[in-house]
Amino acid sequence: MALVINEEQQMLKDSAQGFLAEFAPVSELRKLRDEGSETGYNPDLWRQMVEMGWAAILVPEAYGGLEFGHVGMGQIVEQSGRTLTASPLFSTAIMGVSLINLAASEEQKAQLLSAIAAGELTTTLAVDEKIHHGPTQISMSAARQGDHYLLNGEKRAVVDGHSADKLIVAVRSSGEAGQQSGISLFLVDRNAAGVTVERTEMVDSRNSAIVRFADVRVSAADMLGAEGEGFAPLSAALDIGNVYLAAEMLGIAQESFERTLQYLKERKQFGVLIGSFQALQHRAAHWWSEVELCKSVVLKALQSLDEGDAKSPLLASIAKAKLCEVSELATNEAIQMHGGIGMTDEYEIGFFIKRARPAAMLYGDYNYHGDRYAQLCGY
């Protein structure tokens, strides 16, 4: 497949850019932060997104979705990286839909996917228990008692953990931390007895929570997939999530670059535009080159998800690792080239560095994905 987006995908990209720039620019994130928004996103904005069909893009047509594919959804997420838009799009329309699609029964899919597509249900994934990502490092227990399970344990870095209707929780039903087998996926109501949610205030002003489970009773019917077989769908969903995080970071890298380039063409020192200095020109040219590489890896990874390519895990790790590296370069250079004004809260460039790091950390940072890439290559 040619490494380009088609006309329909370009149209979606353009309309997402227009919509987000108008209704969810960086100033909206600042407002959510300063007003101490309870949901952490604007429910009206989410409703508009649902009306435009964004919650249904990855939902198969059979369940009332648009089945428009990952390359299309990737364009929206890339644009949302430019505007730093907070919404349940990632936790629900990407992670929730993907996990349900990969693991759930026909009956569960029919019920849950159509509810998500209609904007009636928000979800999230609760996977990590330690401060570093490790999808096999799961200790949270699920003990079977007749037709129920009792869940006990703690999950960290749960995106939208305090606002999602339902949590998809990766738990250990057998074996021990470090093993792939013995992991099961449960759908848990956020308001179920025994669930306590501690919302954590994050550097990016986006939603994250620590969720604690104390003797939480869930029915066997709320398990997604077979008992102990949860790792495969979990891992595949994490690959999908990581490609979208890479797409978001691509938006961040591009937007911070373009804003900085503009600044180099406006700011004068020593009587000339600072963009006339070769020391800055070469750094900007290098930065631009790195962003060009990022565009290629993100598009390739999105295409491979659509094709169900066996190389998807490898490409997901390449994309995530590369974007972790370049989004760090981009946001650091953005601050440095803006100089003093880049250090002020009033100026928006600082919002990009504050989102870039949590996006890189979620579901594995550069070190995690570099290591995973090498292991997948056999070294």
Partner 1 sequence: MSDLNAFRQETRDWLEQNCPPSMRTPANNAEDACWGGRNWVFKSEEQKQWLERMAAKGWTAPTWPTEYGGGGLDKAEAKILKEELARIKARSPLDSFGIWMIGPALLQFGSEELKQQHLPPIVRGEIRWCQGYSEPGAGSDLAGLQCKGEDMGDHFIANGQKVWTSYGDKADWMFCLLRTDPDAKKQMGISLVLFDMTTPGVTPKPIKLISGSSPFCETFLDNVRVEKNQVVGEVNQGWTIAKYLLTHEREMIGGFGLTGAGSETLGQIAAKTVGVENGRINSPLLRADVLKWEIDAASFALTAERVTDEVKSGQGVGATSAMLKYYGTELNKRRFELMMKIHGSDAMIWDGADSNGGWVPRSWLRTKGNSIEGGTSEVQLNIIAKNILGLG
Give contact residues for partner 1 (rule: CB under 8 A): 2-4, 261, 264-265, 273, 275-276, 278, 280-282, 284-286, 288-289, 292-297, 299-300, 318, 321-322, 370-371, 373-375, 377-379
Residue 227 or 290: which CB sits closer to partner 1?
290
Rg, the chain, Cα only: 21
Residue 186 or 368: which CB sits closer to partner 1?
368
Helix (H, G, I), strand (E, B) or coil at 210: strand
∠373-376-379 over CA atoms, to 5°? 85
CB of 292 to partner 1, least distance (A): 6
CB of 229 to partner 1, least distance (A): 23
CB of 19 to partner 1, least distance (A): 23
Best CA proximity match to 183, nearest among 132, 131, 147, 237: 237
Residue 168 or 291: which CB sits closer to partner 1?
291
CB of 304 to partner 1, least distance (A): 11
Residue 145 or 278: which CB sits closer to partner 1?
278
Task: Catalogue the E-assigned strands of the chain.
Answer: 123-126, 141-145, 148-159, 166-172, 183-189, 195-199, 208-219, 223-224, 268-269, 272-273
Helix (H, G, I), strand (E, B) or coil at 165: coil
CB of 9 to partner 1, least distance (A): 12
DSSP lists the bridge partners of residue 125 as 168
CB of 10 to partner 1, least distance (A): 9
- Residue 295 to residue 317: CA distance in whole angstroms: 15
Residue 211 or 326: which CB sits closer to partner 1?
326
Please answer whether residues 69 and 244 qualify as being in contact, where contact means their C-beta atoms are separated by less than 8 angstroms. no
Residue 150 or 261: which CB sits closer to partner 1?
261
